[in-house]
Chains A and B, each alone.
Chain A
């Protein structure tokens, strides 16, 4: 983009350069093995130190919100799978929650428990793959990534035998879930969850005792709690700064108030804390899953009063949000009584978490930019929609 690079070259640097040289502009461009999708950063460098950074995105913009306005409420459900394509179950849940708020639909208890089980499984596989990707970006050449993906494959096999598709599940409906999980699925899920702590122990050993990782992530990308709150950061990034704000506890949506789990908090707000946040959250998710498996009741999984076709919610608007693995995922729907929503808005956590990317990267080297970007945990499907 000529305008953006022109602007980078003209404006004065925020830090004084140590040598009398020019600034080097690098476009860490849309095709890059470590930028988690088509994401571009225009970086102005003074030697190796980042002096200015402007993120450029929109390469994956599909105008999902406009498609939502011309598709019925049910028809938008498969499109929500494709927003944050790693976590399709939680995307579905956030959308179903917003529509249930809009039209005041009740969800039966078994469906709520199934939703919690699938959301926590999604959180497990998302955090595992994020840690794998981050270690691979730092130069571990894919080995920890493959260990993480091995566990992720087990969870995706569970999703496949339940909903029919590994990633694009299209599983939640307004008023419940689409397919019931039989006892053999439950047995397999329990086996997967029981085998998970062994992987977590090995993985944490890789993180905690690896000196390269500690040196590269501690004191890198520090963020204060005030900046985090003001910039609308949510999810593990916010809790790494020490702010105790987890929507599962604050909003208490679904049946989360019935589960006992802790919310891990970080002290420093740097990359190492964000990594450890995700590792600790995985352990808490395993705890929630075990409790959910015990408490799962029998019963219907779908509210019988909800129509599948020609679903017309009453006139009004609603904003529903859940704690997705990346942060607060919210859907804002305005209905004018017709089968299509009047305004359909996704509040994307990755997009808003990127607001502080420049603040975090200033003063660090180019190599640290990749580590910081990896610890923010973005998925371009959600950033661009």
Chain B
């Protein structure tokens, strides 16, 4: 403020001095805080106006420039017009850099909108087309052994596919999680020069197209070793896909564990395995859980390797060692290739069930993984405090015995 007044005084030194009465009420110089970002009403009106004008122009033009290009074409034309109109509106008032800035902000935002519209469109389309079949309770526990392709939705179900998916993914978890996490520990904690080679190979394997994992198991396990197609073969093939994903993300998480925690543990005299068991792994627990869950979500959705290795069946099969087994994605794929509307509806319902399972897993992963490494919930904090109090008591007792 003073700066401002000085400057006003500065040019004319000889000006007559103005005496300000100290007791006179001062002029109010309150300033409201300027908003630096965000959208003003003006911006919203410009965007809205441009959108309305674009839609109207598109309606007008549509029959001529893009005849019969469908709803999608209409959206494209309207969008192009919207960007042009918006640029023109902004250009009426602003300088060139500001015009470019605003138009680019709208373009970046619309990229995000397109992506999320596509995502929700995939989710809702699946639920919508499957809604008829999802309402029948028999969908969830019956199998397709007695249902003809032409049967209505009240017959048959996908219980066998749900069970098959559960068996396959459990087997795959049993195979990959201990192996993957131990390998990540190897890469970060105990690894020597060999760790570099293993890391490179694991990185390379994330590039393996999933169908090749299936082809590998098909050629070795089924053709050379002579086993039949089974749930186990499918579980092994999805394990080959999941293993590099789990190792890679667990590796990243373990690398984030602060080194001074390891050093503190070593300085207290803990052998390395105890440091890993009691310090490194608990610190990274939430990140490791996320790594596993994301790997599992990926494994659940794999269709291509299962197509080659699991075979196809319409009945319940609880034995993963024997006989073909079907999973949710494979059942979806199979159902929708049929021309029967009832089967296609079942296919969408199967896809919807699969998606709900993946969404739940994903939500759990977000919930666990949202916290940074080392942070604890209230309950965990209470438990830790209690354990620490017990330790204090134990030390005190020992002191008493010693003295």
A-B interaction: no
B-side interface residues toward A, CB under 8 Å? none
